Chains A and B, each alone.
Chain A
Amino acid sequence: MSDDSAPTLSAAAFATIFPFHLAFDRHLAITRIGASLQRLCPHWRPGLRLDQAVRLERPRIDLNFETLAASQHLLFVLADSEQRFRLRGQLVPLEPDELLFLGSPWLTEPGAIKALGLSIDDFALHDPVIDLLQLLQSQRAAVADLRKLTDKLSRQQQALRDANARLAEQYSALEQAQALSHSILETAVDGIIVIDETGAIESVNPAAEHLFGYPAGALLGQNVRVLMPEPTRQAHDGYIARYLRTGEPHIIGSGREVTGLHRDGSPIPLYLSVGAVAGADRPRFTGILHDVSERQEAARALQQAKDIAEAANRAKSEFLANMSHEIRTPMNAVIGMTGLLLDTPLNPEQQDFVETIRLSGNTLLTLINDILDFSKIESGRLELEYAPFDLRACLEDALDLVTPAAATKNLELAYWMGTGVPARIVTDMTRLRQVLVNLLSNAVKFTPTGEVRATVSAGPRDGLRCELRFAVTDTGIGIPADRIERLFQPFSQADSSISRQYGGTGLGLAISKRLIELMSGSLTVSSTPGQGSTFSFSVLVSTTSGKASGSADSAPWTGQRLLVVEPHDINRMTLTRQATSRGLQVQAVTSADDALALLQAGERFEGALIALHGPNLDGRRLLERLDALPEAQQLPVVLLVPFSFRRQNPLPPQVRALLVKPLKVATIDRALAQLFGGLALSTPTPAPIEPDDSAPHAPLRILLAEDNVVNQRVALKILERLGYRAEVASNGFETLEALARQPFDLVLMDVQMPELDGLETTRRIRTRWPGAQGPIIIAMTANAMRGDRERCLNAGMDGYIAKPIDREELRSALRTAGRRGS
């Protein structure tokens, strides 16, 4: 296309295409300004000189028309005089004396459009400035992306560095742990083996290699079975398989004794503990092996020594038992014969000699029985016999046995059952009573003046189980602290001189301690020399229902008033409790003055229980003074007297009866009946108020077959009270020997006896002495079980008395035997 055909632009089209054009004349005066440029520089006007409006940045030429006209091939950059923007463009001739600048603002910042007060519409569409700006913006975005990426990479790199540092620390710790483990493995005395799930040995320490006799490294890779003898070897794979299948540990996590196999084929006794390695990528197991050859050897030696010692002990016990038996047999003969001798006419001196022989024989027999009892406990042959019984009766029986000894010293003897103590309990009554009698006897023995008291209180209860706490307290000589330890040692007393002074084997406390331990209890002592001692023990018993002795069936004297004058606290409490339970209103005082003061103050009573003796009390004197008081002249009185009391002078007229100490509920009831009338109280054992020493001496020859010493003493005591005397046999054989030696009218036969029990003894008696040749045999047994009576009668016995012995029942049996004997 030639120049001639160039299109001619309209002014509007030109303005659209070149909105930033600028024309000037030969004198450099501006002649035209494009619309957009005018908006950019509103103060530019035609006529303004070019050098006043702009500065020529490029090209660096003189700003005159000719030079400019000659530079049409150059790219021009004009800066406005205020340095706000630059124009980029070129010069073209417009007229001979006029040049035209075609261009647009050169922008490198997208914000510049707005800053210059322009909009995108100020630019011609063909102008690439906007595209350039967009491109620039894109480039910036790309740079921003790059920066963001770099930041992210930096962060990640830092995180990696941190992770590396942590890893390095962990690695170091791991190395140290490994070094430690290695050191432990290498120096451990015990063998340590690690196996995988197939049983292959992965690691083994020198101790294990040495233990099994293998050179270093020889065991690695081998199956651990090579270290096991049959049949463990066969079973081992099964153990691992089962653990992996079920997770059941079997021996994992625990230890046990096993037998290992030495390389030379010999067995090694081992203690093996097996563990599963936690956190391992695959199952691994550790075995720690300790050679227990020496330990087993030591245990064997120990067992052997124990066996020997036990055999020696058994031999000792058997020797003791045999000895005792051998001694007892002739002793029984001596005692039996002296009994017969006493029934013959003797002069007083002979009588005295024979009584001494008999007494010494009995003492010796007691000692022998103690030794036998102790050896039985020591050899573990003693078994407790559990049966229900009345605790109060048991306590009163025990007290009965020591009453005569206490009476000779004028000791006050009393017992107290605390609230909540069950009336009937289940334990071994005979053995419990044996302990009580032993403690009471000791207390009486070592107490010259004052009192001995037995108390029982209830401890915690658990359903039918109850802890009973017993205490026997005296005001005796006491025990020095450094002697207490030896107290419970067999054949020992607190002071060896004591045995000479007081007698005894020194076995009593040792036996009691063992018996209490058998009853799940313990025996302790507290003592102050010169002031007295307290022996305490607790036993666990079962409680059982049933009526207790002395329990109130009725309150026949409700509303009547009773005066009690008793300085001794337990006696006063016992009297008050029993009288109150019978409905009486009780006023209890401790002295005569207090009693008189009450009466003088106008208090009235229907009866009085007054102690004969006591601190600050003279009962007789009080009675005289009462007699002098008009309001008390008619007061009926029961006098509380010691066991040793013997009536010498006539009693004052107001005394209706005597109540003999130690106090028992039955005798108290009878005393109250004397005061208030109505004797028909239904107490189970209406004991006499005074000792039953008036019973006729019945010429009955009685043999008591009873193994327990205390039971013997109880039975003998009751018989004595009833006016009888008896010989004693401690088991069935002794019974048969005694019968062979001399005839007896009556045998009181304990059913449970060692060696030959009562039932078998009875059968043998009936075979050997049939019909009337044989004695009457009455069973005495604590076995209050259904069918016991039948078993006794079937064995050939004639009657049956349950323990604890009921005096009336025994009296009745004796009368029956007496009738038959006569």
Chain B
Amino acid sequence: MYGMVNRALEDMVTEQFGEDTWERIKAAAGVDVEVFITNEGYPDELTYRLAAAASTLLGQPVPVLLEAFGMHWVLKTAREGYGDLMDAHGSTLPEFLLNLPNFHTRVSLIFPYLEPPRFACSDVSAQSLRLHYYSHRAGLTPFVRGLLQGLGQMFATPITIEQEADRATGADHDIFHVSWIPPATA
């Protein structure tokens, strides 16, 4: 997993609960990494351990934590590191969502060992689209949901997310029906 993901988790916990809590979470997860390198690849299992330990210590279920984490990712972590690039990827939510597949394609080219997820858009209309999420990693669906929520906030666009297919229930991939109210009419 991208170091940026672990870093984001660290930032979120530190910001809300302080550095000591993060150190305790790391200790509970058996993770001995001082600084996560953003573009470095880390074992997925390490991220899962951190999430599980954070869930235990903060008393929050893992899915809730992951969703919050997804929002934090968009609004804080990615904005701080890739703000300009994100801006270039679209000035509206639909623009950004439509660029999501290419963005991840580029990431996969630049960091081939990171095995980033794959996104695809279909059924694009003026107020909705279907976002297809493909990943070899399990259990990160709530994280994607949080990402989408975060993007809605970033573009000041109220959105509704409806998960139409769930890998956890046997689907090939997750499908989110994302609908929004265009800012001009919101």
* Contact surface of A with B, Cβ cutoff 8 Å: 109-111, 113-114, 118-121, 125, 130-131, 133-135, 137-138, 141-142, 144-145, 148-149, 152
Contact = CB atoms under 8 A, between A and B. Distances in A.
A152 B35 contact: yes
B38 interface: yes
Given A119-B88, A134-B110, A137-B81, A152 B34 contact: yes
A524 to B, nearest CB: 72
A141 B34 contact: no
B88 A141 contact: no
> From DSSP, what is the main secondary structure of chain A's interface residues?
helix
Nearest to B81: A141
Contact of B88 (A120, A131, A138, A144): A120
B169 interface: no
Given A110-B84, A110-B88, A141-B82, 12 more contacts: A110-B82, A120-B90, A133-B88, A134-B85, A134-B106, A138-B38, A138-B110, A141-B38, A142-B37, A142-B38, A142-B39, A152-B34
10 contacts: A119-B91, A120-B102, A125-B102, A130-B106, A131-B106, A131-B110, A138-B38, A138-B111, A141-B81, A142-B39
Closest 8 CB pairs of A and B: A110-B84, A111-B84, A113-B88, A141-B38, A110-B85, A149-B35, A145-B37, A138-B39
Interface residues of B, number: 25
Contacts of B109: 131
Contacts of B84: 109-111, 113-114, 137
B160 interface: no
Contacts of A131: 106, 109-110
Given A131-B110, A149-B34, A119 B81 contact: no
B89 interface: yes
Nearest to A111: B84
B35 A145 contact: yes
Contacts of A121: 95
A144 B80 CA distance: 11
A559 to B, nearest CB: 92
A703 B89 CA distance: 139
B164 interface: no
Contacts, number: 67
> From DSSP, what is the main secondary structure of chain B's interface residues?
helix
Nearest to B103: A134
A134 B81 contact: no
Nearest to B99: A120
B77 to A, nearest CB: 10
B91 to A, nearest CB: 7
Contacts of B166: none
Interface string B156-170: 000000000000000
B60 to A, nearest CB: 27
B16 to A, nearest CB: 20
B85 to A, nearest CB: 4
A148 to B, nearest CB: 6
B52 interface: no
Interface in B76-101: 81-82, 84-85, 87-91, 95, 99
B35 A148 contact: yes
B107 interface: yes
A160 B181 CA distance: 56
Nearest to B111: A138
A148 B37 CA distance: 10
A120 B110 CA distance: 17
A184 B88 CA distance: 79
Contacts of B107: 134
